[in-house]
């Protein structure tokens, strides 16, 4: 959305950069999706459908970004007044971003619901998160409607001031709320066992990293929004949805990383135990072999001594018989 005091060469700079960043982040979405379906054979159909939905929404949004760039910079390159117009694809892109954020936040709210099974705070905590998520989505739809019904972007900026800010603050609140709930649940699940401590620490670390990334982007969207036609907010908002999808897919794929880490740890422990067992076994076998050899030597020595005694007795008997004769 452009302003009246800025020239065409600077008005859309941040929007252009934001869309280019969106294209770059889409590469992460595509690779994360391929990785997920390559390693998620045990996931249920709902989760796999959600991943497909997120990938499709991000794909359509990138296509719309390309269409917008074509409309503004190619088809109307000699018509600066076209920069004041918002094609229908801009509104659709806004709705897709709101729907994508809703789907990702619902995924985390569902995780909170699952992790709080048989706990008294299960319903209140998930209800609060769900209401904040729905508030954000509804404000996003209202903002999209205001954009669609505005003749120019200047009018749109004035109309979306209230619902746009409410949406931004509610998304920020939901991301913070999800991070606090998940970290509290993970921290309460600590048992002191070394194996589970490693997994829980990783989960907490990834949850905090996710919250920091999304919190920083959404906070930047809120801070840079000004009802004077500046474009910084628009540039950040262009790739915020794609970043949300990337973070969600990375969280899902991190389960495979944790599994591989656990397998490596278990294999190392098993190898250590096996090595100790083999060492003890070989040690006992060598001890048994030495004892067996010593026993055989003792038996041989005993037989030789007995044979020697028999010979001596035979000689004595022969001497006695000779003396009688």
Can you tell me the distance from the alpha carbon of 319 to that of 202, in angstroms, rounded to the nearest whole number? 94
CA 158: distance to chain centroid? 38
pTM summary value:
0.73
Parse the chain into domains and list their residue ranges: 8-255
Mean pLDDT over 97-121 rounds to 91
- Residue scoring higher pLDDT (78 or 103): 103
Dihedral pair phi/psi, residue 220, rounded to 5°: -65, -35
250-281 pLDDT, tens digit per residue, is 888 888 777 776 666 554 443 333 333 333 33
- Residue scoring higher pLDDT (303 or 230): 303
Dihedral pair phi/psi, residue 231, rounded to 5°: -105, 0
Mean pLDDT over 92-109 rounds to 92
**Structure confidence at residue 284 (pLDDT):** 44
The mean predicted confidence, pLDDT, of the chain is 76
218, with CB counted inside 10 A (0-12, 13-18, 19+), is buried
**Structure confidence at residue 163 (pLDDT):** 84
Contacts 24+ apart (CB under 8 A), 101-104: 101/136, 101/137, 101/140, 101/171, 101/240, 101/241, 101/244, 102/133, 102/136, 102/137, 102/140, 103/50, 103/53, 103/54, 103/57, 104/54, 104/244, 104/245, 104/247, 104/248
- Residue scoring higher pLDDT (219 or 175): 175
- Residue scoring higher pLDDT (134 or 19): 134
Mean pLDDT over 311-325 rounds to 50
73, with CB counted inside 10 A (0-12, 13-18, 19+), is middle
Task: Tell me the DSSP string of 185-214.
Answer: HHHHT--S-HHHHHHHHHHHHHHHHHHHHH
60-80 pLDDT, tens digit per residue, is 999 998 888 888 888 877 777
Mean pLDDT over 44-48 rounds to 90
Q: Which CATH architecture has domain 8-255?
A: Up-down Bundle (1.20)
In this prediction, what percent of the chain has a pLDDT beyond 70? 71
Handedness of CA 224, 230, 233, 235 (dihedral sign): negative
């Amino acid at each position: 959305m452009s302003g009246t005091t800025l020239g065409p060469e600077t008005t859309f700079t941040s929007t252009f950069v934001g869309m280019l960043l969106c294209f770059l982040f889409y590469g992460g979405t595509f690779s994360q999706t391929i990785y997920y379906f390559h390693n998620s054979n045990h996931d249920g159909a709902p989760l796999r459908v959600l991943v497909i939905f997120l990938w499709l929404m991000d794909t359509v949004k990138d296509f719309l970004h390309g269409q917008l760039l074509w409309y503004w910079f190619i088809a109307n390159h000699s018509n600066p007044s076209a920069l004041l117009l918002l094609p229908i694809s801009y509104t659709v892109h806004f709705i897709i971003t709101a729907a994508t954020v809703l789907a990702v936040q619902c995924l985390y709210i569902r995780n909170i619901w699952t992790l709080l099974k048989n706990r008294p705070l299960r319903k209140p905590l998930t209800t609060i998160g769900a209401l904040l998520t729905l508030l954000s989505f509804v404000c996003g739809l209202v903002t999209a409607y205001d954009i669609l019904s505005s003749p120019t972007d200047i009018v749109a900026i004035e109309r979306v001031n209230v619902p746009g800010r409410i949406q931004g603050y509610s998304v920020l609140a939901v991301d913070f709320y999800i991070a606090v709930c998940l970290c509290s649940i993970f921290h309460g699940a600590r048992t002191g066992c070394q194996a589970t401590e490693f997994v829980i620490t990783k989960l907490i670390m990834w949850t905090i990293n996710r919250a920091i990334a999304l919190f920083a982007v959404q906070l930047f969207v809120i801070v840079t929004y000004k009802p004077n036609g500046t474009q910084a907010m628009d540039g950040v908002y262009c790739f915020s949805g794609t970043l949300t999808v990337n973070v969600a897919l990375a969280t899902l794929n991190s389960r495979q990383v944790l599994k591989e880490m656990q397998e490596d740890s278990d294999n190392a422990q098993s190898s250590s135990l096996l090595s100790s067992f083999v060492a003890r076994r070989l040690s006992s076998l060598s001890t048994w072999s030495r004892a067996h050899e010593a026993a055989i030597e003792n038996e041989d020595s005993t037989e030789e001594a007995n044979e020697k005694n028999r010979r001596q007795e035979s000689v004595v008997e022969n001497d006695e018989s000779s003396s009688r004769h």
